[in-house]
């Protein structure tokens, strides 16, 4: 097996194939491109020339470096021209039979010590290699779009892949300037697997009538800190890509409810409302389209008519910040041991709905408004009421908590609000990936942070938010709903109970 790969073949010169060719050529590696479509390889090279020219014009690449990179690219009309490549990467259609046939064909083209890699995003590497004469040299080498910007690559050994093959691809990832993570051959690998929690839980929240698409996006973007809301992300990626991936992972995990797809996404796929590419998805991208941001409700109660505010005690949160917020908004605090008649009651549920929390605390559900202290209240506040909430107190809470210029999103009653549910599911699923030894905890954290653009890796994020709080959220949602989707995984439960970091790996048991 070649430890140093200086010539790469790429079969399939679409967006992914061209992206891989770009970073390889920029790293000084010779790249031979082949595509079964006549003229496609040459078109990819022409496109890369234009890309390098733009980088030079922006000062992001020196002219001589661009010229050297272009000299590394060679479009080929015959697959036989890949015969002396130390590595060939297939980046063709995501179909098992097509990839199996191509890899088998390449075995007759390349030398005995060449590596054959698949850029599959969801298919089993073991299944792709099963018909090969030498499956030990076949592995997954999964990049993300756009390849030059998403600096992470999953290296996936199949059951028969040799350690030498895995190591050679790990070494190459460093040369290409990407963070290589070695991943067990499982459905969705790391990044597509971990990414299921964000979108599927958001869809479930809308299914339950808790909040609108725009409200969920605003909360998760502006309060929780995600770069994009899930529905904005769905529209950017395209539901024709994300929904089939969700269905495939759900089926490959034999119907585990944590991966359950949504009928909401299915309906839009059927209607061909796929997102930006079709002009309409969860949002309308036509000329007269409204902003994706929810409209801020206007104040409806005069300041003089605002009721005093009684803050319910909480075993989960320090409510001093909430008291300070009420004061900053010009509200009067009710300091009694119990709320006075007519006071607005603010409660801070963790993993509960407003109904359960109000009854547990002995608070009047017609005056009780839940506020999510877990997501923070600095500039964006999430509120929810019980079904019995009097409209006057809902209006009072909304009016009061926007008087300092902050934004309020008022949602329906929900176990765990929006941010609590989604963040706990993201962290729990990352823990499950670690528990299954799909990859190391640090590799999981790095891969998800880079590949999905999260502000932190999910395990580090869970540590910073409090693993004990994550466990409480899921335990309470599970108890209140009975839905096995919310069962805490052993990785999260054990580390939260023991007070350990979610990145902590236990010592392997002796096999002697």
Through-space distance between the first and last CA atoms of the chain, rounded to whole angstroms: 32
Q: Of 90, 119, 124, 154, which one is the catalytic site residue?
A: 154
Place of tokens 């210029």: 405
Q: Of 119, 124, 192, 428, which one is the catalytic site residue?
A: 192
Cα separation, 132 vs 136, whole angstroms: 9
Cα separation, 4 vs 350, whole angstroms: 53
Burial of 246 (C-beta count, 10 Å sphere; 0-12/13-18/19+): buried
Q: Quick one: which H or E segment has residue 31?
A: strand 30-34
266 noted as active-site residue? no
142 noted as active-site residue? yes
CB atoms within 10 A of CB 334: 18
Q: Which of 417, 434, 401 is nearest to 473 (CA)?
A: 417
Give the single-character DSSP code of 259. Answer: G
192 noted as active-site residue? yes
Cα separation, 12 vs 18, whole angstroms: 8
Burial of 177 (C-beta count, 10 Å sphere; 0-12/13-18/19+): exposed
Q: Of 119, 121, 343, 428, which one is the catalytic site residue?
A: 121
Cα separation, 192 vs 257, whole angstroms: 16
Place of tokens 């299921």: 196
Q: Are 286 and 280 in contact (CB under 8 A)?
A: yes
Reported residue count of the chain is 512
Q: Which of 499, 467, 469, 471 is nearest to 486 (CA)?
A: 471
207 noted as active-site residue? no
Helix axes 490-498, 467-481, angle to 10 degrees: 130
Q: 462 by DSSP, 3-state: which?
A: helix
CB atoms within 10 A of CB 257: 13
Q: Are 381 and 371 in contact (CB under 8 A)?
A: yes
Q: Exposure pattern of 16-50 as b/e (b: 16+ CB <10 Å)?
A: bbbbbbbbbbbbebbbbbbbeeeebbebbbeebee
Give the catalytic positions in this structure.
Answer: 121, 142, 154, 192
């Amino acid at each position: 097996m070649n430890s140093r790969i200086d010539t790469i073949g790429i079969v399939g010169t679409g967006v992914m194939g061209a992206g891989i060719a770009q970073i390889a050529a920029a790293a000084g590696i010779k790249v031979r491109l082949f595509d079964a479509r006549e003229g496609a390889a040459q078109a990819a090279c022409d496109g890369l020339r234009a890309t390098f020219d733009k980088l030079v014009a922006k000062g992001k690449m020196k002219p001589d470096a661009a010229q050297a990179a272009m000299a590394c690219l060679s479009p080929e009309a015959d697959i036989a021209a890949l015969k002396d490549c130390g590595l060939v990467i297939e980046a063709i259609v995501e179909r098992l039979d097509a990839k199996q046939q191509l890899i088998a064909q390449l075995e007759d083209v390349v030398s005995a010590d060449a590596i054959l890699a698949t850029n599959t995003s969801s298919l089993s590497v073991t299944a792709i290699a099963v018909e090969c004469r030498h499956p030990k040299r076949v592995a997954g080498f999964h990049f993300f779009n756009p390849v030059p910007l998403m600096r992470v690559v999953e290296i996936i050994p199949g059951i028969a892949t040799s350690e030498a093959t895995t190591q050679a691809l790990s070494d190459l990832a460093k040369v290409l300037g990407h963070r290589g993570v070695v991943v067990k051959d499982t459905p969705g690998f790391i990044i597509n697997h971990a990414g299921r929690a964000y979108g599927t839980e958001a869809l479930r929240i809308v299914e339950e009538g808790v909040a609108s698409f725009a409200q969920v996006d605003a909360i998760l973007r502006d309060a929780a800190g995600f770069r994009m809301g899930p529905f904005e992300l769905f529209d950017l990626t395209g539901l024709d890509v994300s929904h089939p991936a969700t269905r495939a992972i759900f089926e490959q995990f034999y119907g585990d409810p944590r991966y359950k797809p949504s009928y909401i996404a299915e309906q839009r796929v059927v209607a061909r409302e796929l997102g930006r590419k079709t002009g309409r998805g969860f949002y309308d991208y036509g000329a007269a389209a409204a902003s994706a941001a929810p409209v801020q409700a206007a104040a409806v109660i005069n300041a003089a008519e605002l009721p005093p505010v009684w803050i319910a005690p909480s075993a989960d949160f320090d409510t001093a910040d909430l008291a300070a917020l009420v004061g900053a908004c010009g509200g009067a605090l009710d300091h009694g041991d119990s709320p006075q008649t007519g006071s607005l009651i603010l409660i801070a549920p963790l993993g509960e709905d407003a109904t359960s929390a109000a009854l547990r605390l002995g608070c009047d559900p017609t005056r009780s408004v839940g506020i999510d202290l877990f997501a923070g209240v600095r500039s964006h506040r999430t509120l929810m009421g019980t079904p019995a909430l009097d409209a006057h107190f809902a209006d009072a809470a909304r009016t009061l908590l926007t008087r300092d210029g902050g934004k309020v999103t008022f949602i329906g009653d929900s176990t765990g609000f929006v941010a609590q549910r989604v963040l706990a599911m993201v962290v729990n699923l990352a823990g499950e990936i670690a528990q299954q030894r799909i990859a190391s905890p640090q590799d999981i954290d790095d891969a998800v942070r880079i590949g999905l653009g999260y502000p932190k890796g999910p395990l580090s994020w869970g540590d910073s938010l409090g693993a004990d709080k994550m466990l409480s959220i899921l335990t309470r949602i599970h108890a209140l709903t009975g839905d096995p989707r919310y069962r805490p995984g052993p990785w999260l439960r054990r580390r939260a109970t023991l007070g350990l970091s979610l990145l902590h790996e236990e010592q392997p048991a002796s096999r002697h």
